[in-house]
Amino acid sequence: MGFREIVAPSIKELFIQQLEGMILSGELRPGDKLPTERELADTMKVSKTVVHEGLRELHRLGFLDIASRKGVTVADYAQTGSLDTLMAIMQYHGGLPDKKTAESILKLRYYLEGPAMEELADHHTPGDIAALEDLQRQAEEASAQDAGAFAEALLRYHRGITFLSGNTITPLIFNAFTKVNLEFWREYVEAYGVVQCLETLSRFTELIRDGRGKEASELLRSGLERFQRDRI
C-alpha cells in the first residue's frame, strides 16, 4: 500500500481556483472587467504578488485578457484558449468533462481517428497489420481481466491506429485525453458488453487490412454517435 504526501494548495492556487470557478460557472462572463490588482488583493485578503501572478497564469490559460490601458477582462476562452484551457476546465469538473465538452471530445475523436483509419487502410504495410493484430490480441486477453485493463487495451488499439497511420501528432492528442477516454471506454463496455466490443474491434482490423478505410471510418462514426445518444 503506497501512501502519498498530502500537499495543501498554495494561496496562489486557491486564488486561481476561485476565479476559474467564477468564470466557468458564468458568474464572470466574457468582456467583464476585473477590479485592479490592488482592489482584488484588498478584497480577497491576499498579497498583490499573489494576485499579479495568478492573473498572469489565468491569462496563459486563456481565461483572461490583459491590456496595459484597458486592465483585465474575462476572455472568451472558447475562442482564445488552448489545450491547457481544456485541461483546466476538466480539472474544475473533477478531471472529467462536462456534457458539452464530452460531446466535443467524442467528435474530435472521430475527426482524428477517422482519417487515420482511411490512411492506414490505403497505405499499410504487412508490419502495420501485424502490429494492429497484436493490439487486437492484447485487447482480447485484457477482456478476461477487469474493466480497467480492457479499457486501457481498447485505448491502446485505437491510439495505435493513429500512430500506424504515420501521423506523429495525433497520438499525442490521444494521450492528452487519456483519463477521459478511459472513462468513455469503461462506459462503452458497460453499455454494450465485452463481446460486442471485441466484434467491433475485429471488424476494424478486417476493414483496414482489406483496404476499406471509408467503411472503417463510417463504423467508427456510427458507433460514436450511438454512444453519444445513449449516454445522454
Q: What is the pLDDT of residue 180?
A: 82
Confidence of residue 161 (pLDDT cuts 50, 70, 90): very high
- State the Cα–Cα distance between residues 137 and 61, nearest whole angstrom: 41
Give the model's pLDDT for residue 232: 59
Cell numbers given for 17? 481556483
Higher pLDDT, 202 or 89: 202
**Contact status, residue 133 vs residue 205, Cβ threshold 8 Å:** yes
The CATH number, out of the four listed (3.30.1370.60, 3.30.565.10, 3.50.50.60, 1.10.10.10), of the domain defined by the range 11-86? 1.10.10.10
Task: Tell me the range of 96-105, 191-200, 223-232 where mean pLDDT is highest.
Answer: 191-200
Cα–Cα–Cα angle for 88, 91, 94, nearest 5°? 160
Of residues 138 and 187, the one with the higher pLDDT is 138
In CATH, what class is 96-230?
Answer: mainly alpha
Grid cell, residue 2, equals 503506497
Is-contact 165 126, C-beta < 8 A?
Answer: no
User: What ranges do the domains of the chain cover?
Assistant: 11-86, 96-230
Strand, helix or coil for residue 93:
coil
The CB density around residue 203, as the number of other CB atoms within 10 Å, is: 13
List C-alpha distances in Å: 222 to 82, 149, 225.
28, 25, 5
Q: Which of 181, 183, 164, 184 is nearest to 173 (CA)?
A: 181
State the pLDDT at residue 95.
63
Q: In whole angstroms, what separates CA 153 from the centre of its chain?
A: 17
Cell of 153: 487495451
pLDDT band with cut points at 50, 70 and 90 for residue 15: very high
Average confidence (pLDDT) over 56-71:
89
Give the pLDDT of residue 79. Answer: 83
User: pLDDT (tens digit, 9 = 90+) per residue, 92-151?
Assistant: 777 666 777 778 888 888 999 999 999 999 999 999 999 999 999 999 999 999 888 999
Q: Is 115 helix (H, G, I), strand (E, B) or coil?
A: helix
User: 143-147 contacts: CB < 8 A, separation 24 or more?
Assistant: 143/194, 143/197, 143/198, 147/186, 147/189, 147/190
pLDDT surpassing 90 at residue 213: yes
Residue 73 grid coordinates = 477582462
Question: Each residue of 170-182: b (16+ CB within 10 Å) or e?
Answer: bbeebeebeebbb
